[in-house]
Structure 1
Amino acid sequence: MTSDTQNPVDAEAVVRQASHWIQPLRSEIGRYLIGQSDLVDRLLISLMVKGHILLEGVPGLAKTLALKTLASLVNAKFNRIQFTPDMLPADIVGTEIYDPREARFRVKHGPVFANFILADEINRAPAKVQSALLEAMQEKQVTIGEQTFALPSPFFVLATQNPLEQEGTYPLPEAQLDRFMMKVVMDYPTEDEEMRVLDLAGTTEEMPVPQPIVSLEAIQQARTVVNSLYLDEKVKRYIVRMVHATRRPDDYGVHVAPLIRVGASPRATINLALAGRAHAFLNGRAYVTPHDVKSVALDVLRHRVTVTYEAEAEGLNSEKIVTRILDELPVP
């Protein structure tokens, strides 16, 4: 399918065929995960375009359950890595172990060799350990000794992060934050949602293990279709203007320049286009609208904009400033 020559009707049919598993997958996850539909969509968006997610939220919001359930439903290997201050990079990627019987070193793969990785409390570990995972995310490979090993495909990381004001944390530098396609902030469930959680999980009985309903091959086929979705020049210009408005907001009629220390990088531009395509795919369309881009923009930009001390003094964080840019920037 090519975006330039494909008949619109045919293009929609291709998208419907490639995305037929999306709604059944959402429904099945909803049996285990209550009230986190936005998180599920962000997981699917990142999976479609080979992105990774940084997830921030208080303990007990089913972050592990979300990724573990998704891994079971797509028949993917899942590993959870608990980050701690005494970790070493080898605890993630693996190491060489000497075998005295054969008088040689052999490689032992670390837990990063899986399709879905939950990097729990990533900011509990020092920078060199964080970097080991982020290198794997970027390069889709790791080096152990003198050998380089490709990571499984698909390879997706969901990293959770504690609030930075807690003691014993190592905040991710801006350059490392930029490696994450999205930063998603989880909130508490509503009263009705928590009632459903109580009905579902308020028992000592084990929940049945989710059974696979979509193959990794189907996900790869969906990725190919996502890459071919039509992205109009006006939408591309909207993406570029959105990112530039975080660098020179006055040029776009958004007067927040004194509040921004560092704007979003070109990687944000690329990720907005990718996430916009995936959002359109999840909604069964063969073309990307400005609404698709705006729907994912806060998650793509919130961790890429650094605020000034003046903004902090006024109680403004990057999320509030990005929201203001999105609200005031004209939509084509």
Structure 2
Amino acid sequence: MKTQEFEFKGFVGNGFAFLFLNLILTALSVASFFLGDVLGAMAYILGVVGLVLTFFIWAGVKQLEPNEARVMVFFGEYKGTFRRTGFYWVNPFLEAKKVSLRARNLNVEPIKVNDKVGNPILIGLVLVWRLKDTYKALFEIDSQTMASKSNEAGASVAGRMKAFEDFVRVQSDAALRQVAGLYAYDNNEGGENELTLRNGGEEVNEQLVQKLNERLAMAGMEVMEARINYLAYAPEIAAVMLRRQQASAIISAREKIVEGAVSMVKMALDRLDTDEIVELDEEKKAAMVSNLLVVLCADEPAQPVINSGTLNH
């Protein structure tokens, strides 16, 4: 038993030729009823048979637009997938299930997950997907039952595609949770060079596409692109994380200020010693260093104090 998609090899006729034939057959069938009084009962029989054949021909007329396909099923047996665009005629006893091969967008609403270090975050994504293997899509997953539940007709292309979209949505949720658990939200807990959800960019998106394609391969679907479009801390820790980020920014700024202040104090002492402006002992140098650091590192402007004493004992 074949378990993968293959091209339909059955008879495919020109749709316009069969349409023209059907119009002629319809006209002849109707005319035979009017000739019944002349030709007898045989004319009526031929007319009925002709009308039955017209319905048979009409049932086999199909059309297909670009990036669409029909899955041919003969009394439950898969006969192949027909992808040729145009107007054609096939055996009416073949059930031609129509599906779309066009790319579709899916916007996955933000979900709450835990990142690598356990912080609850909200993360969402948008992806572009399409149907790749029609056999797997229709027969490897229960898409037809799902289509019947989402659409009363159940056999419409809209119902089938809605069922496929629901399958992609569920698998996208699972893949997003898996990828989000591999990375921290930010590098607060790790090194500066650690890949995170915030700075991962294309690498995280590629990982997401890979995980999605692994999950959707069983259903004959392909993700062409996936991107994280929403990322934030969960509301219960958002305020705490904001204060933490502010504290981290303040500490970084203080480090720069202290580094610059120490450099300026050293430069001042070296300049005083080189130019022999004043001679300071260790105690005076310590006092000067303390005063300069207070002035340079303080948030408030320094208040000048006039020293009326002398630098020498």
Asked if Structure 1 and Structure 2 have the same fold, meaning a TM-score greater than 0.5 normalized by the shorter chain, the answer is no
Instruction: Please tell me the TM-score bracket, short chain as reference.
Output: under 0.3
TM-score (normalizing by structure 1)? 0.19
Q: Which has the higher contact order (CA 8 A, sep 6+)?
A: 1
Larger Rg belongs to: 2
